[in-house]
Structure 1
């Protein structure tokens, strides 16, 4: 059976993808420096699947330690999640983001090359579409970004294109996520951000469980039906299954390529839609205030999903109600996270 290295495998999306990999018969090796996740995740993955991952506490900036992991395990493909990921924070400490995300990825690519591992699924982001493209976003649109975080994703996509151009053995899927939310239906793993959440759903769930007093909604005067921003929300389990589909295509392919795919629902929900759906799922009233717009927020965006359906045979199966129900199940069982 194929052995997959998952970088950042104890994070939100990484942990859910490890569960799906194990349940589909893959062997899983995880490297993570635990800077934004908990070692308890390893135990929770075992509790869900009754299978174990091989976990190594390794930072991607450490070439020698990463090389030892490849020496110890025969790796068939890499799913690369590891990276700093807060848009706002990236504008305050851009050099940290460039050093960690870019140098870490370059180190990983050099080690992969050393051990002749050329299959990679890369965790990119819809932030690579910037704020000038029309909606829905299509994979062929020009790339740009409004934050250092987003620019690291644009640059890494370019690294991978250049690597393939110089050596056609590189075989890469660039997965551009929209807004991942939800949790595993068991309630054993979910989103557990350090400090104040940057994303809407964990903020709402922390208000519902009593950890925070109220939600701030940034702007209610956008040109949308209810005045709040519209985003394309996707259940993290659907997203994880998208990685499996991309991985299967890489492993089966006879002609290596670099292909980008949008992973989203293909439609949008407003902030107030999400608040109302969460109230319905949890039975809790979500108190909120309207605050001024945030710099850089655009009124609406969502994915064009035709390519991911046609080439990966992937589409979302879980609704906004499912996302809210599973988030509440996780948060109510784990009010303080891990």
Structure 2
């Protein structure tokens, strides 16, 4: 059974990926500093997978902690690196916080494991495309200036990984460029767990619907889109977890010789913010209190992905639709209301 290090493994996408790794026969080793996650997720994962996964609480920005981790876990064959700050708006307000955390953690990890034969999956983002000229955006689209410091950290991190593999490292690397992960596990035991005011749309929708927030603000209704609100490619987090397993399996495949590759992860379709609100109301029966506000700095007008390469090479396709995303997110929110973290 291959051991896979999952950094940020108690976070939103990380925890769902841990479940999919176990289902696929891997042994996850979780690392998290709990800066944007909750230790209770470890118990929730235990309920889902039937055993308590190995967990190390440490900060990847501390190189000595990473060196100690590598010594404690010498038989790691793969790393899935989620650990990063990820809120676009906060990155605009606090750019140095994002550059320090997102780069130091990655570099310490790569330097510590340099020379080892590791399959490395990097949690990237469609933000690397900036505001694309052509939609849907393919993996070959030009990397334009980032719209936010967060987006820039993902662009530069990809450059670091590409140049590292070209330097003769024993690693293979796949960067997965996510579009917009939403939804929750069908057990309603894990899901998105924002600390403080949510930075993402769907948890703000569910928190408004359940009464934690007075109302939802839609940032702008004057964009060049069907209803004036921003367009995104929303993907169910469970589908996203499965994609990370597919990336590991691809790198393990005999004959796959690419040392660095990138894949879009999305549904290939775009939905406006107002369409997502409507989908939530229709799939749950809940009416949402929302208002239109001004545009938010750093937001891209519209982006959705061409997922042909993921389908043909990664052998992965998103299976769950927008109704599944909204209903599962709502079930998770209702679970939290009865079982507060």
TM-score norm. by structure 2 comes to 0.96
**CA distance in structure 2 between the aligned counterparts of 1:148 and 1:297, rounded to whole angstroms:** 12
**CA distance in structure 2 between the aligned counterparts of 1:103 and 1:249, rounded to whole angstroms:** 28
Secondary structure of 1:98's aligned partner: helix
1:134, distance to aligned residue in structure 2 (A): 1.8
Match of 2:266 in 1: 264
Q: Is 288-297 or 230-239 further displaced after alignment?
A: 288-297
Match of 1:20 in 2: 20
Match of 1:88 in 2: 89
Secondary structure of 1:95's aligned partner: helix
Summarize the alignment of residues 1-80 of structure 1 with structure 2, pairs less than 5 Å apart.
1-73=1-73, 74-80=75-81
**Does 2:281 align with 1:279?**
yes
Q: 1:312 aligns with which of 302, 308, 314?
A: 314
Q: 1:86–1:149: 8 Å Cα contact kept in structure 2?
A: yes
**CA distance in structure 2 between the aligned counterparts of 1:302 and 1:209, rounded to whole angstroms:** 29
**CA distance in structure 2 between the aligned counterparts of 1:154 and 1:301, rounded to whole angstroms:** 16
**CA distance in structure 2 between the aligned counterparts of 1:100 and 1:72, rounded to whole angstroms:** 23
1:57, distance to aligned residue in structure 2 (A): 0.2
Match of 2:195 in 1: 194
**Does 2:129 align with 1:129?**
yes
**CA distance in structure 2 between the aligned counterparts of 1:2 and 1:234, rounded to whole angstroms:** 27
**CA distance in structure 1 between the aligned counterparts of 2:325 and 2:168, rounded to whole angstroms:** 41
**CA distance in structure 1 between the aligned counterparts of 2:320 and 2:245, rounded to whole angstroms:** 17
Summarize the alignment of residues 104-119 of structure 1 with structure 2, pairs less than 5 Å apart.
104-113=105-114, 116-119=116-119
Q: Deviations over 1:150-183 (max 9, x none)?
A: 1111111001111111115220100000000000
Large movers: runs of 4+ above 6 Å? none
Please, which runs of 5 or more residues in structure 1 have no aligned partner? none
Distance 1:168 1:64, change over 3 A: closer
Summarize the alignment of residues 320-331 of structure 1 with structure 2, pairs less than 5 Å apart.
320-331=322-333
Match of 1:98 in 2: 99
1:301, distance to aligned residue in structure 2 (A): 1.1
Distance 1:132 1:303, change over 3 A: closer
Secondary structure of 1:174's aligned partner: strand
Q: What do you get for the CA RMSD once the two structures are aligned?
A: 1.3
Q: 2:92–2:297: 8 Å Cα contact kept in structure 1?
A: no
1:67, distance to aligned residue in structure 2 (A): 1.9
Q: Deviations over 1:60-100 (max 9, x none)?
A: 01222222222222100100000111111111221111111
**CA distance in structure 2 between the aligned counterparts of 1:63 and 1:249, rounded to whole angstroms:** 30
Q: 1:32–1:82: 8 Å Cα contact kept in structure 2?
A: yes
1:253, distance to aligned residue in structure 2 (A): 4.3
Match of 2:173 in 1: 172
**CA distance in structure 2 between the aligned counterparts of 1:51 and 1:322, rounded to whole angstroms:** 27
**CA distance in structure 2 between the aligned counterparts of 1:55 and 1:32, rounded to whole angstroms:** 8
Please, which runs of 5 or more residues in structure 2 have no aligned partner? none
Q: 2:88–2:298: 8 Å Cα contact kept in structure 1?
A: no
Secondary structure of 2:29's aligned partner: strand
Q: Deviations over 1:262-305 (max 9, x none)?
A: 00000011111111111122221101111122233333210000
**CA distance in structure 2 between the aligned counterparts of 1:221 and 1:86, rounded to whole angstroms:** 23
Distance 1:128 1:251, change over 3 A: same
Match of 2:146 in 1: 145
**CA distance in structure 2 between the aligned counterparts of 1:56 and 1:41, rounded to whole angstroms:** 14
Secondary structure of 1:76's aligned partner: strand
